[in-house]
Chain A
Amino acid sequence: MASKVIHALYTDDDVLMDAVKQVRSEHYHIEEVYTPFPVHGLDKAMGLAPTRLAITSFMYGCVGLTVAITMMNYIMIEDWPQNIGGKPSFSYLENMPAFVPIMFELTVFFAAHLMVITFYMRSKLWPFKEAENPDVRTTDDHFLMEVDASHQDVDKMTSFLSSTGAVEIKVIDKQEDNH
C-alpha cells in the first residue's frame, strides 16, 4: 500500500517543540520525530503514553528475590543442611542475615538486566539491525518530523509546515509501510 508522508527538518529543538505543538493542534498525525539527542518534554508535547518499563522492572526484581530465596532455601536448608562455622541451618529465617547480600544482588541483577532486555525488545534494537534513519543529518544537528500526508492537501500542509520554522520539507512516497 502506497502512503505519503512529509519530512520536515528543523535545526533547533525549541522550534521543533513549537512545531510539534502546532501540528498537533491542527490535528495532523505525527508519525515519528527523529532527534540527535533527547529533547526534554518532547514525549509530552507529542502526547505519547508514559513508559511502563519501571513497572516491569519492579516485577523482575520480585522474580529475582524469589529465585534467590528458593535457591538458597533448597541448597542451604533443605538439601544439605551442614553445620558451616556454627551458622544455624535449621530454618531459612534463622540463617537469613547471611543470605541477604545474595537476595539483594539477585534482585538488582534481575531487575536491571531483564528491564534492559525488555527495552531492547520493545524498541526493536539488536546487533545487525538495519538502521531506520530517514536522513543522516538527524544524528548530528537536524531534527526531523515525519507527518502523515495521505488523504491530505499536500500543498496546504507544506506551506503550514514551513510556517512552523522548517528549514527543509520533502514529500515522500512510501512503497510499503515499514512500521
Chain B
Amino acid sequence: MYTLSSKLRLFSIILMVVGLVGLTTGFLSTPNTVEDVKEMMAAHDAHGGGHGDTHAKADAHSSDGHGKEDAHGGDSHYEHVLHQLQNKPWAALYVAAFFFFMIALGVLAFYAIQFAAQAGWSPVLFRVMEAITAYLVPGGIILFVILALSGFHMNHIFHWMDTDLVDPANEHYDALIAGKKGWLNVPFFLIRAAFFLGGWFLYRHFAVKYSRKQDEDATGNKWYKKSFKISAGFLVFFIYTESMASWDWIMSFDPHWFSTLFGWYVFAGLFVSGITTIALITIYLKSKGYLEFVNNSHIHDLAKFMFGVSIFWTYLWFSQFMLIWYSNIPEEVTYFITRIEDYKLPFFGMLAMNFIFPLLVLMNSDYKRINWFVVMAGIIILCGHYIDVFNMVMPASVGASWFIGISEISAVLLFLGLFLFIVFKALTKAPLLAKGNPYIEESKHFHY
C-alpha cells in the first residue's frame, strides 16, 4: 500500500493556496470600465518601447478590421480590449481546468485500450492509471461548473453564448452563429456536457470497481471479463463523445470556424498528455520504492507510446494546418492567421516542444530506459500540450491581449495542486499491484 507523505500533501496544498491567491488577484485586477482600459494602456504606452509598438499595431489592426465598429463610436476599440482583459482570468482558469481534466481523460482512454487489447505488459501499471483517473470526477465537475457559469453569462469566453448574436432584431445579429443555433445553444450544450461527463464517470466507476473485485475473487475471471466488455463499450462511446466534446468545449471558442479532424487532434493531445503523466507518476513512485515489480522495460514501453503519439499529434496538427494553409479559403484560414500574427512564439514553440524535442530525445532505445531522460521529455511534452490548449482557447477569448502572467500560472498551480492531491490520495486507496488480473504474471516478467 502507498502512504501519502506529509511533504507531498503539504506541497499540493501550498500549490492550491498560492494558485487560488494568484487567481483571485487576476480576477480583481481586471479593468471594470472603458476608462480603466484607457488608463492602463496610457500607462503602458508611457513605458514606451516594445509595448507601445504592439499597441500601435493593435490600433492599426482595429482601424482596418473594425472600421465599421469605429463608426459607431471612438470607444469601440477600448471596449474590445476591455472584454478581452475581462476574459483573461476566466480563460486562464478554463485552459488549466481543461488541461488537467484532459490528462485524466487521456489516461482513462489508455486504460480502456489496455483492457480491450488484452495487453500483457501494462497490468502492473493499472493501479497508477486508476489513481490518475480519480481526478476525472472532481476535474469534470469543475469543468462543468465553469461551462455552466459561462452559460449563465458570468463571463464571455464563449462568444456564441451572447444572446444578442442570434436575435435578428439586434444590431449585433450574426447570421452564421444564428445558423448554428440548433447545436450551439446553452441548454443543449450543458445537457451534452452532462451526458459526456456522466458516461465517462460511469465507466471509470465500474472499471475501478471491477478491478478491485477481481483482486478479491479471481475465480473464472468473472470481473475481468466484465471489465473487458465495458472497456470495449466505453471506447466506442468515448470516440464519439470526445469528438463532440472537442467541438463544444474547444472549437466553439471560434464559432465561425470549423475543422473536420479537430476531434482527433484534441484526442491526440489528451492521449499523449495522459501517457506522459502515467510515465512520470510511475517513475516517481518507483523512485520512492513502491513499484518494485515495474522494470525499465515498462518505462521503455511508455516512452515508446509518448514518442509515437507525439508524432501522431504532429501528424494531425500538420494535416489540419497544411490543408487550410494550402487551400487558403478565407473563412477557414483566419483561424491560423490570428494565431500566427498574435501567437507566433507559442504557436510554433509548441511544435518544437511537442514534436522536435520528443523526436530527438526519445528516438534512441537506450534513452527510453533512462528515467531522467523520460522525465525531462515528459515535462517538456506536458508544457507543450498546455500551450497547445492555450493556443486553441486564448485567441478567440482574449485575442492579442494574451500574456502568460499571474492568472495563467496561478490557474496551472491551482489545478496542479488539486491534481496531485487527488491522484496521490487515490493511490493510497488500493494495493499498487492489481494481483487478480490474469495478465499480471506476464506483466511482472515483461521484458523488452
Chain A residues near B (Cβ < 8 Å): 54, 58, 86, 97-98, 100
Contacts and interface: CB of A to CB of B under 8 A. Distances in A.
B328 A54 contact: no
Interface residues of B, number: 8
Contacts of A98: 322, 326
B325 interface: yes
A138 to B, nearest CB: 28
Contact of B322 (A54, A58, A86, A97): A97
A54 B364 CA distance: 9
Contacts of B318: 97, 100
Contact of B363 (A58, A86, A97, A100): A58
Nearest to B328: A86
B365 A54 contact: yes
Interface in B277-328: 318, 321-322, 325-326, 328
Contacts of B363: 58
Contacts of A86: 328
A121 to B, nearest CB: 23
A72 B321 CA distance: 21
Nearest to B315: A104
Q: Shortest 4 CB-CB distances between A and B: which pairs?
A: A97-B322, A97-B325, A98-B326, A100-B318
Interface of B: 318, 321-322, 325-326, 328, 363, 365
A140 B322 CA distance: 52
Give the residue among A54, A58, A86, A97 with the most B Cβ atoms within 10 A: A97
Nearest to B327: A85
Contacts of B322: 97-98, 100
A166 B328 CA distance: 71
The DSSP consensus for interface residues of chain B is helix
B328 A97 contact: no
Nearest to A55: B364
A98 B363 CA distance: 26
12 contacts: A54-B365, A58-B363, A86-B328, A97-B318, A97-B321, A97-B322, A97-B325, A97-B326, A98-B322, A98-B326, A100-B318, A100-B322
A54 B368 CA distance: 15
Nearest to A54: B365
A151 B29 CA distance: 89
A69 to B, nearest CB: 15
A98 B323 CA distance: 9
Contacts of A54: 365
A97 B351 CA distance: 13
B145 to A, nearest CB: 40
A103 to B, nearest CB: 11
A86 B328 CA distance: 10
B35 to A, nearest CB: 43
Nearest to B447: A41
B348 to A, nearest CB: 11
B85 to A, nearest CB: 34
B360 to A, nearest CB: 10
Contacts of A100: 318, 322
Contacts of A58: 363
A143 B394 CA distance: 65
B309 to A, nearest CB: 18
Contacts of B325: 97
Given A97-B326, A100-B322, 6 more contacts: A54-B365, A97-B318, A97-B321, A98-B322, A98-B326, A100-B318
A18 to B, nearest CB: 19
B120 to A, nearest CB: 15
A58 B321 CA distance: 27
Nearest to B360: A58
A98 B328 CA distance: 12
A86 B325 CA distance: 12
A142 B326 CA distance: 59
A58 B359 CA distance: 12
B261 to A, nearest CB: 16
A57 B63 CA distance: 54
A54 B322 CA distance: 30
Nearest to A86: B328
A58 B364 CA distance: 10
A5 to B, nearest CB: 33
B354 to A, nearest CB: 16
Nearest to B366: A50
A86 B330 CA distance: 14
A97 B348 CA distance: 13
A84 to B, nearest CB: 12
Contacts of B321: 97
B316 to A, nearest CB: 14
Contacts of A97: 318, 321-322, 325-326
A130 to B, nearest CB: 35
Nearest to B325: A97
B200 to A, nearest CB: 35
